Amino acid sequence: MTPLSTMVPGTPCLLPEVRARLIQLLDEAEAALTLDQESARANLAQALRLLTQATVNPEPVAGLHGGLMGWQIKRVIAFVNSHLDATIHVKEMAFEARLSLSHFSHAFKLTFGEPPLAYVTRRRLARACDMMLASDAPLSRIAHECGFYDQSHFTRHFHRRLGMTPQSWRRFYADEPEG
């Protein structure tokens, strides 16, 4: 049987220590699968948590030639975080950075590794995950408070980004063994 670590594609967006830990967790889960399913489940849960955090929370890189400066990054992040429950337009983000729309869009993608609206959606999903872990609030309310039009819109983006529905994700983490 091929070790799972050889099947993990190179993911340059993951920090080397996170990637190494994921490979270790997946290899341990594979080894324990036939003998100790509970241990395998715990290793897979930890790997999924790491992947979710890495997918939802990559760090911007300041100082890239053509990218945003540190003060611009801070202003844009603060603006987005304080307006996640409302519609956010790229022109508003550009205004916060004091750049033209086209220059901002290019610099933002260089700095954050994704377009501005993809970043906004990712931040909304991160907030939704935090809210689902912290409360039993209905998904429709969480969707609304995180700036999604409705629960269907939220579910579509959540599934596309994290590979499962919000309800499945919530149930998985609620049932997850501590470790």
pLDDT tens readout for residues 75-129: 999 999 999 999 999 999 999 999 999 999 999 998 988 899 999 999 999 999 8
Task: Enter the pTM of the model.
Answer: 0.69
pLDDT confidence of residue 73: 93
Mean pLDDT of all residues in 42-46: 72
Q: Which pLDDT tens digit goes with each residue over 75-88? A: 999 999 999 999 99
Indicate the pLDDT class of residue 71, thresholds 50, 70 and 90.
very high
Distance, CA of 22 to CA of 115 (rounded, Å):
27
Assess whether pLDDT exceeds 90 at residue 2: no
Residue 144 has pLDDT above 90, yes or no: yes
**Hey, what long-range contacts does 49-53 have (CB within 8 A, 24 or more apart)?**
49/173, 50/18, 50/21, 50/22, 50/25, 51/22, 52/129, 52/162
pLDDT value for 59:
66
